[in-house]
């Protein structure tokens, strides 16, 4: 591997460095094991599709920044034999276009230098995805494996601080080097870049890739038509959508009727009292005026032209 180590001098520089590579933080997407990124999204990004800039100051990222300094102290209390040092470097295989940003280097172990991946985790996520600390998520393991591979570390560790105000705790998991898994990661990255360079798209996940599909198909071609001759899938999914829309409409109508009944009950009262398990309010407020800037959008409109006996009851003539 042709390894390059670059000192991180600013967040802007670091973000630019990451654009040229598949990074350890998202490599799990290539194996279908990432909770936030799909391979379809990653492929689009690397082929130059423009997406809105992510919010770099959302509460989760802010929590991670604020608690980063807590990891050396927390680990020292559990493992006083280990020494943690912030890495502050970006490491990349220039040939493979595969990069990583370790959180900490680990010293004090007789095996040599290690890397530590630090995660702050909300209690419900810890219970759901970390099995209450018994096993870290696979995408985090793959991230750590990639960091070990690219830095040449002797071993890796995953440290998770559970951000529970009443029971803050640290969980440590050691990750050994795994040559066959590392070779698999390299192969996944190599094949990913082969597809990107050749303009090949992976299959989209229609449950998770809505934003990516919209970004890639944000403009229609005037006069172009899609010929549905011989397309068996489209009638099936349109019929399924019509059935679901009818069910949604029925449920929305019932919800609206319930809300009307509640409003009628409350009259001019602002809130409900003595109702265990519920908070209900019905206050008056003034809403400031606002204006929306003009923008170009594509609207999906579907009209159900099938015979009436084929339509589920309650189907609307048009939906957007």
Domain annotation covers residue 15: yes
* Confidence (pLDDT) at 320: 28
The reply to whether 31 falls in a domain is yes
Angle between helices 138-151 and 179-198 in degrees, nearest 10? 90
Q: What is the CATH number of the domain that holds 87?
A: 3.90.320.10
Separation between Cα atoms, residue 178 and residue 175, nearest integer Å: 9
Is residue 28 located within the same domain as residue 90? Answer: yes
In a domain, 106, yes or no: yes
Q: What pLDDT digit, counting tens, does each position of 65-117 carry?
A: 899 999 999 999 999 999 999 999 999 999 999 999 999 999 999 999 999 99
Instruction: Give the DSSP letter string of 21-83.
Output: SEETTTGGGGGT--SS--HHHHHHHHTT---PPP-TTSHHHHHHHHHHTHHHHHHHHH-TT-E
pLDDT digits (tens, 9 = 90+) for 229-242: 999 999 999 999 99
Do 63 and 198 fall within a single domain?
Answer: yes
pLDDT tens-digit series, residues 146-196: 999 999 999 999 999 999 988 999 999 999 999 999 999 999 999 999 999
Same domain, 103 and 146: yes
215 lies in some domain: no
More confident residue, 53 or 151: 151
Radius of gyration of the chain (CA): 26
**Banded model confidence at residue 215, pLDDT cuts 50, 70, 90:** confident
Identify whether residues 137 and 256 lie together within a single domain.
Answer: no
Residue 292 reports pLDDT greater than 70 = no
Rounded to whole angstroms, the maximal C-alpha distance in the chain is 76
The DSSP symbol for 86 reads E
How confident is the model at residue 307, as a pLDDT?
A: 82
Query: Does residue 7 lie within any of the structural domains?
Result: yes
- Which pTM value belongs to this model? 0.80
**How many structural domains are present in the chain?**
2
User: Which has the closest alpha carbon to 316: 297, 302, 296?
Assistant: 302
CA distances, 151 to each of 13, 90, 130, 148 (Å): 20, 10, 26, 5
DSSP assignment, residue 84?
E
Judgement on whether residues 87 and 170 belong to the same structural domain of the protein: yes
Exposed, middle or buried, 68 (CB in 10 Å: 0-12/13-18/19+)? middle
Domain that holds residue 309: 233-268+294-319
Beta-carbon contacts of 279 under 8 Å, excluding residues fewer than 6 positions away, are: 271, 272
Least confident segment among 54-63, 218-227, 253-262: 54-63
């Amino acid at each position: 591997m042709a390894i390059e180590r670059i000192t991180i001098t600013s967040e802007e520089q670091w973000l630019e460095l990451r654009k040229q590579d598949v990074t350890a933080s998202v490599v799990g997407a290539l194996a279908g094991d990432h909770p936030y990124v799909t391979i379809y999204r990653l492929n689009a990004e690397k082929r130059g599709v423009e997406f809105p800039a992510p919010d770099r100051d959302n509460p989760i990222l802010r929590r991670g920044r604020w608690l980063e300094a807590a990891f050396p102290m927390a680990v020292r209390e559990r493992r006083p034999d280990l020494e943690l040092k912030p890495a502050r470097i970006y490491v990349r295989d220039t040939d493979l276009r595969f990069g990583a940003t370790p959180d900490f280097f680990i010293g004090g172990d007789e095996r040599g230098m290690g890397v530590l991946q630090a995660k702050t985790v909300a209690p419900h996520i810890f219970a759901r995805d970390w099995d209450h600390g018994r096993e870290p998520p696979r995408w985090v393991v793959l991230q750590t494996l990639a960091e070990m591979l690219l830095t040449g570390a002797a071993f890796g560790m995953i440290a998770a601080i559970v951000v529970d105000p009443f029971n803050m705790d640290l969980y440590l998991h050691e990750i050994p080097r795994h040559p066959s898994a590392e070779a698999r990661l390299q192969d996944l990255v190599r094949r990913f870049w082969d597809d990107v360079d050749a303009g090949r798209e992976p299959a989209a996940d229609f449950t998770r890739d809505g934003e990516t599909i919209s970004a890639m198909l944000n403009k229609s071609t005037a006069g172009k038509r899609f010929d549905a001759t011989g397309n068996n899938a489209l009638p099936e999914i349109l019929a399924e959508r019509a059935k679901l829309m009818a069910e949604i409409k029925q449920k929305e109508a019932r919800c609206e009727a319930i809300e009307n009944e509640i409003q009628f009950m409350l009259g001019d009262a602002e809130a409900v009292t003595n109702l265990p398990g519920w908070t209900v309010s019905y206050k008056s407020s003034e809403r400031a005026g606002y204006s929306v800037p003009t923008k170009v959008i594509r609207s999906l409109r579907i009209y159900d032209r099938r015979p009436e006996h084929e339509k589920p009851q309650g189907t609307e003539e048009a939906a957007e």
